[in-house]
Structure 1
Amino acid sequence: MEDDFETGESGASATFPMQASSLRKNGFVMLKGHPCKIVDMSTSKTGKHGHAKVHLVGIDIFTGKKYEDLCPSTHNMNVPSVKRKEYQVLCINDDFLSLMDDGAVTRDDLRLPEGDLGKEIEKKMQNGEEFFVTVLQALGEEQVMSTKAANN
């Protein structure tokens, strides 16, 4: 019987390495410890003994803050494992959303988002609309990112 030692601590698979030159715009990358969507990137050529450098600009997927980093194109950057899942909204209880996934599994642990998105969700609920929310998950954090009308 073989022992499996590749489990590591929790969060071991939260990120994976990828060579900086392999990253693409609209992909994801960790910039200064934050999971970001790449909104701009450029590669600069350097002198005859230097490395080409990749300049990355990303927006934090949870806070919307902008981060930048410069990395040699041959170095590895951490890429967050980002999961996207859709849930049907059942109701709102004390600022928490009651959600159901496509397997009819319900959860009540996600907070109603603040700002315009939260207001949009409340308005759709008051109007009796059937709709879904898209939830992004990365680094053990989850957040409702957008709404989508149910296709009846």
Structure 2
Amino acid sequence: MAEDGGSSGASTTFPQQCSALRKGGFVMIKGHPSKIVEMSTSKTGKHGHAKVHLVGIDIFTQKKYEDICPSTHNMDVPHVTRKDYQVIGLSDSYLSLMDDGGNTREDLKLPDGDIGKEIEKKFDNEDSFMVTVLSAVGEESVIATKVQN
């Protein structure tokens, strides 16, 4: 039976054959949702399976992970969604965000590192800007900012 795209009880990942994965796509490497940055396939060996060597960057922590898998085997691919929110507030290192439907949320922490500093700076300057929130496997994180038109 086909699984519908609804989020209630739907799996956070789906299987995809290793040979069908593409650079720039997403895959679970060692339990981490990662964006594929490098991919190479070795020749068929004595026992008949070509191997795919994957290098991915964790979409939340930016850590690098590697994996090798036979091209005919399945790997888990995370359901990744991106959503843009307008930043309307910042308090106790939590962001107040509003989506394009006017719904607000205040459950996302200010990210660490450069993006967090950039958000604080733009907020202090009273710039009007958006943040891009990436969500996968039950985790969410702000990954980018952009000027609001």
Q: TM-score over 0.5 for the alignment?
A: yes
Give 1:80 deviation, angstroms.
0.3
Distance in 1 of aligned mates of 2:52 and 2:15: 15
The aligned amino acid for 1:113 is P
Distance in 1 of aligned mates of 2:91 and 2:45: 60
Aligned residue number for residue 116 of structure 2: 118
Aligned residue number for residue 99 of structure 1: 97
Distance in 2 of aligned mates of 1:80 and 1:97: 25
Aligned residue number for residue 35 of structure 2: 37
Give 1:47 deviation, angstroms.
2.8
Aligned residue number for residue 140 of structure 2: 142
Where in structure 2 are the equivalents of 1:1-152 lying within 5 Å? 12-151=10-149
Distance in 1 of aligned mates of 2:31 and 2:132: 24
Which runs of 5 or more structure 2 residues have no equivalent in the other structure?
Answer: none
Distance in 2 of aligned mates of 1:48 and 1:23: 24
Distance in 1 of aligned mates of 2:45 and 2:27: 27
Give 1:48 deviation, angstroms.
4.6
1:82-112 CA distance string (max 9 Å, x none): 0000000001011100000000000000001
- Percent sequence identity is 72
Distance in 2 of aligned mates of 1:54 and 1:65: 20
SS in 2 for 1:51: coil
The aligned amino acid for 2:116 is G
The structure having more radius of gyration, on CA atoms, is 1
Distance in 2 of aligned mates of 1:93 and 1:12: 33
Q: Is the 8 A contact 1:11 1:139 kept in 2?
A: no
SS in 2 for 1:25: coil
1:21-56 CA distance string (max 9 Å, x none): 000001000001110000000011123532011100
SS in 1 for 2:100: coil
Distance in 2 of aligned mates of 1:51 and 1:103: 49
Q: Is the 8 A contact 1:134 1:147 kept in 2?
A: yes
